[in-house]
Amino acid sequence: MKKRLTMSLLSLASVIVTVMAGPVATADDAPVMASVAQRFVTTEADAPDFQKHVVPLLGKLGCNGRSCHGSFQGRGGFRLSLFGYDFKTDHDELYGRLDPEVPADSMILRKALMQDQHEGGQRMKDGSWEHHLLLRWVQAGAADRVDNPPTLTRLEVTPTEIQFSAEGQTQQLKAVAVWTDGTREDVTTLCRFQTNDDQVADISQEGLVVANAPGDTHVVAFYDSAVVPVPVIRPVSPQFGDNYPAVAMPTKVDELVVQKLRKVGIVQSETCTDAEFLRRVSLDVTGTLPTAKEVREFLADTTPDKRRRKIDELLERPGYVSWWTTKLCDFTGNSDDKLNNVTPVQAEASKQWYAWIHKRVQENMPYDKIVEGIVLAVSRNPGESYQDYCTNVSKLYHKGGPGAAGYADRQGLAHFWARQNFQTSEDRVIAFAYTFLGTRIQCAQCHKHPFDQWTQDDFKQFEGFFKGTVGRQNARPDAKEDYDKMVKGFEGTEGLKGNDLRRILAEQAQKGATIPLAEVYSVKAQPVRKNNKNQKNADRRGGNVPGTAKILAGPVIELAQYEDVRTPLMDWLRSPDNPLFAKAFVNRVWAAYFNAGIVQPSDDLNLANPPVNAELLDYLAKGFIEHKFDMKWLHREILNSRTYQLSWIPNSTNRLDEKNFSRAVPRRLPAEVAYDIMVQASLNDEKNAEYVTQMDKRALAIPGAGLRARGRTPADYALTVFGRSIRESNCDCDRTEEPSLLQTIYVRNDSQFLAQLDANDGWLAATAKAQNLTFTRRSNPDGNDAQQDRRNQAKARFTAQIRKLKERIAEAEKAGKEAQVKSLKEQLKKIREQADKSGAAPTEAETETAATSEAAPSAPTSSMNADEVISDAYLRTLSRFPTADELQTAKTYIAESSDPVEGIRGVLWALLNTREFIVNH
């Protein structure tokens, strides 16, 4: 089995696609049969093969496409399987449109030739090789697919890589199909072709590739079950190949990235500054800004290995555990909306899910072990009776009980199987593929996957692994009697079901009672019996389990030999011969650190969407497996590379590059991180330092998501605005990091955001106290006395006006301008009267002190260390010192403000509103 798995799974990453079908009986030096375009110049050739020639030709002509007879409704009463995967059905449909007596009068020919009216137009010309091939097939009796047909072993497409040097250059592809009966045939004319980027390269239906703009992409050949991508490169600069400059490549990751860049003619940017590195890696790894003190210490450190040591330090912080727990909750689908009624007490399931993953990330449990606890999860721990299970889990809901932390000690994450959107076997296949294989397999639920090798038959056979798990409908059948007995033991439960029963049981659990609980459990498969109709109609919800299931691109498994039918599924996932499992996680981690995955979208690994750097993805996936799925090894391997540490500042060769990792691409911060650092930057030094280590009030550590989760915490509105994952599906697209107008409005004007700046435990209040300045809140974050808050604001306004007028009077008197002095004193008198009337008049001492300190433009900073305050504001927001120009601009702004605190507030607000703050660069 291992050998067969190896042959099949390696096909997913190879330019020469292998399709598993048994032993290969062909020799590489066997003669290649001429293409059908040559053989069917006349109708004298041997009869064509239905699978090898007729069905691919129908695909080439567009007959079985989704806009024609391949649609679910078909066209004109004639329906073919989409992309030609169902040979029997297709043959039956075609046979009804043939004329064995006069083959040339067959409807399939006359329609395609437009000899009869055809909505799809003319698909081939009279006398063409396409016409002759179909006519010859009819003349020879229109044979169906032969019994036990040879299957496609691989499709050899040459050249395996195309390098162009100028626009308009061409390259003809050649595709040779290799079958298990030893046949080798040129099938170029039967292949379908596509380009993944027509701005870089076009490809004709005959396989002729044409160079367009500089860059790199893939063209893809489709034939039978094979999908083969071919890289196409046109260098973007003269600096490629032997002309590529010498660059530092300290790690294997760097070697593989530069290996690709050398072909494309893209030169990497310089290494980023220490300040940029510290901010970038802190946000990426822990979702937290470095403190001002941490920035100062890191910039002062002159040891050569300080970046490596900082990476190690960050991977041990609570922020790493919380942030990557949240990421894993995204991937696995921890949604409050989908967990309704999974636990007796509402909103507890998402917390338990989060706690279960958090414990394992904190322990750095190998990724495959975490996944094993999910894939093989049942509600009961090994050896636990139903009564013990109810007793142990009920304690989680007792007042003062262990809560979600207690659930983390359970062996399996059974909630994964109890979700409302994970109950049918079809939904389970789709979500499982998204989560653990990074693959969008849902197309194969109804037809052949248009961009991969999966067929509807593959989907249906893979589905068997998911029919043996019951997702918390009730107690296990052998405990049904115990369940009913326990329910009757509570007063007022007779005849109750659903929410009414759940409400009473929840109340009893919170009072300390042991309550009956539903559970997730596995159903054992029965041996396959011939002609067993019940076996063919396996219950979609786990009542009947099929006797066999088939690994994707692998062998058929007899399920009856396993106590849990998911066991061979888990064995396949972690097998070294399965590159998808490791690659899916590696690709998602890489995407989290760069602007895109090595495969993009990061959850769409398919043969027609190949990696931009296959060698890089192979290396990281292989290393991840060899290091026993150690997540921290993977993080270190990426973070310690020069590639991760490149500057965002482009050069002439890489300014347009966003996919080959030649520079850092500035990225909008994820919602949780964006919200947290807005709070963190506004806190005083003591609270800021606590924020780095204490996760209980962090958006980073909010367990669930979805509509039901909104409104539970102060962060929820901001998280919605900034695109937190809604976890409706397992698609990575459930999270958005696109900028929006609402985000700009929030940071500029939202009352909650502005209140943070004026909080009593904020940096602004602490700075005012440290610099002996009067601190007056612009807003009232504590909500204690709104009227007093308005008076304070009015007083600050009158104080500023009086100070300014006194300053102008002094200047006019000094200049001997008597008329101006008289006019200004009249204005001053009116301002004082307005202030007295409003009850917000400042004292003479307050205005005199201010007037004295504002006698010169630099006065606001004369009673404080302006350089220190401004530098601290930059360090806590942008994690760097201000430039000389920035420092002078900020000092001038403070000097021209109504009072120093107002000026400092304005500087902090402006920094929080910069693009530099809200993106990771």
> Which candidate, 683, 676, 675, places its Cα nearest to that of 760?
683
Q: Is 488 helix (H, G, I), strand (E, B) or coil?
A: helix
Q: What mean pLDDT value characterizes the chain?
A: 87
- d(CA 906, CA 911) in angstroms, rounded, equals 9
Cβ neighbours for 805, distance < 8 A, ≥ 6 positions apart = 824, 827, 828, 831
- d(CA 643, CA 615) in angstroms, rounded, equals 15
As given in the structure block, the two tokens for residue 847 are: 């205005």
Give pLDDT tens digits for 678-724.
999 999 999 999 999 999 889 999 998 866 555 567 888 888 888 88
Q: Write down the pLDDT at residue 679.
A: 94
pLDDT class of 73 with cuts at 50, 70, 90: confident
Give pLDDT tens digits for 113-137.
999 998 889 999 999 999 999 999 9
Give the position of tokens 């006349």: 42
pLDDT class of 853 with cuts at 50, 70, 90: very low
Q: What is the mean pLDDT of residues 187-211?
A: 96
Amino acid letter at 570?
Answer: M
17-26, 659-668, 784-793, 809-818: range with lowest mean pLDDT:
17-26
Q: What is the mean pLDDT of residues 259-281?
A: 97
Give the CA count within 13 Å in the CB-facing half-sphere of 567: 12
Q: Say how many C-beta atoms besides its own lie within 10 A of residue 594's C-beta.
A: 21
Q: What percent of the chain has pLDDT over 90?
A: 58
Q: Say how many C-beta atoms besides its own lie within 10 A of residue 117's C-beta.
A: 8
Cβ neighbours for 358, distance < 8 A, ≥ 6 positions apart = 321, 322, 325, 408
- Within 181-270, residue ranges assigned H as helices are 252-264
Q: Write down the pLDDT at residue 790.
A: 58
Whether the predicted pLDDT of 412 surpasses 90: yes
Q: What percent of the chain has pLDDT over 70?
A: 90
Q: What is the mean pLDDT of residues 460-475?
A: 86
More confident residue, 790 or 204: 204
Whole-model pTM: value is 0.85
- By the 8 A CB rule, do 79 and 73 touch? yes
CA angle in degrees (0–180, nearest 5) for 837-838-843: 85
Q: Write down the pLDDT at residue 23.
A: 37
Q: What is the mean pLDDT of residues 776-797?
A: 58
Give pLDDT tens digits for 504-515.
998 999 999 999
pLDDT class of 851 with cuts at 50, 70, 90: very low
Composition of the chain by helix, strand, coil, percent to 5: 50, 10, 45
- d(CA 263, CA 217) in angstroms, rounded, equals 12
- By the 8 A CB rule, do 268 and 662 touch? yes
- d(CA 333, CA 312) in angstroms, rounded, equals 29
- By the 8 A CB rule, do 98 and 142 touch? yes
- d(CA 794, CA 329) in angstroms, rounded, equals 48
652 by Cβ neighbours in 10 Å (0-12 / 13-18 / 19+) ranks as exposed
118-122, 177-181, 197-201: range with lowest mean pLDDT:
118-122
What burial letters (b/e) apply to 12-43, b meaning 16+ CB within 10 Å?
Answer: bbebbbbbbbeeeebeeeeeeeebbbebbeee
pLDDT class of 542 with cuts at 50, 70, 90: very low
Give the CA count within 13 Å in the CB-facing half-sphere of 82: 17
Q: Which residues pair with 155 in a beta bridge?
A: 17, 177
Amino acid letter at 725?
Answer: S
- d(CA 155, CA 173) in angstroms, rounded, equals 12
Q: What is the mean pLDDT of residues 405-416?
A: 95
Q: What is the mean pLDDT of residues 870-880?
A: 97
